[in-house]
Amino acid sequence: MAIGQTFLGLLESSPRHGYELKRLYDERFGQSRPLHYGQVYSTLARLLRGGLVEVDGVEPGAGPERKRYAITTAGVTDVERWLAQPEKPDTYLQNTLYTKVVLGLLTGRDAADILDIQRTEHLRVMRELTRRKADGDLADHLICDFALFHLEADLRWLELTAARLDQLAATLRIPAPRLDRSTP
């Protein structure tokens, strides 16, 4: 998650203090991963250095002074650019699983088991997300749906790969009998 650009987006409507940005971020986007204060202030310091935000006012308090931050014109341009830019599709999981399947085949293990174990884990997480949706509001729904659709795509890949294990083994020059799933 691009915390900097998210802060800029949250600052577009009005200037805010750091603690207020953290609260808004955690409420709307943090879900199971709230921000640490260290992250909040290091991000704001970076945005300040880059001229994307400016200090709008300083209020004295019992503790350290409380700065209020406002977005600059350059900051608005930066948010616009970020929103217009597509995200790189994440393919790391597929690569890891592919590696596991190939290694399973190469080492004489049951690659179908690797896929089944992964499917069970994917479905476990999907059940959790589905339960979270049942108890949640619309924001929870949308965030969980995003994860659910991605996990579902992984599962489709798992099923397709399970159906192609013999073919994959042949390309790796592994004797077919090892993979006969119906052999007791």
Partner 1 sequence: MTNTPGPDDRPLLSAVDLHKTYGTTSALDGASLHVRAGEIVAVMGSSGSGKSTLLHCMAGIVRADAGQVRYRDRDLTTMSDAERSALRRSDFGFVFQFGQLVPELTCLENVALPLRLGGVRRREAERRAAEWLGRLEVTDVSGQRPGEVSGGQGQRVAVARALVTAPRVVFADEPTGALDSLNGEQVMRLLTEAARHTGAAVVLVTHEARVAAYADREVVVRDGRTRETVLAQR
Footprint on this chain of partner 1 (rule: CB under 8 A) = 116, 119-120, 122-123, 126-127, 129-130, 134, 148-149, 151-152, 155-156, 159, 162-163, 181-182, 184
Q: Name which of 107 and 182 has its Cβ closer to partner 1.
A: 182
DSSP letter at 72 equals -
Contact indicator for 39, 18 with CB cutoff of 8 Å: no
Look up residue 35 and give its two tokens.
């921000």
Nearest to 45 by CA among 53, 37, 36: 53
Least Cβ distance, residue 32 to partner 1 (angstroms): 18
Nearest to 20 by CA among 41, 2, 46, 42: 41
Nearest to 180 by CA among 165, 168, 158, 159: 165
- In single-letter form, the type of residue at position 114 comes to I
Least Cβ distance, residue 88 to partner 1 (angstroms): 24
Q: Name which of 17 and 141 has its Cβ closer to partner 1.
A: 141
Q: Name which of 92 and 149 has its Cβ closer to partner 1.
A: 149
Q: ∠ CA(103), CA(148), CA(165), 5° rounding?
A: 25
Least Cβ distance, residue 127 to partner 1 (angstroms): 5
Least Cβ distance, residue 155 to partner 1 (angstroms): 4
Q: Name which of 24 and 112 has its Cβ closer to partner 1.
A: 112
- In single-letter form, the type of residue at position 3 comes to I
Contact indicator for 105, 173 with CB cutoff of 8 Å: no
Least Cβ distance, residue 98 to partner 1 (angstroms): 19
Q: Name which of 24 and 148 has its Cβ closer to partner 1.
A: 148
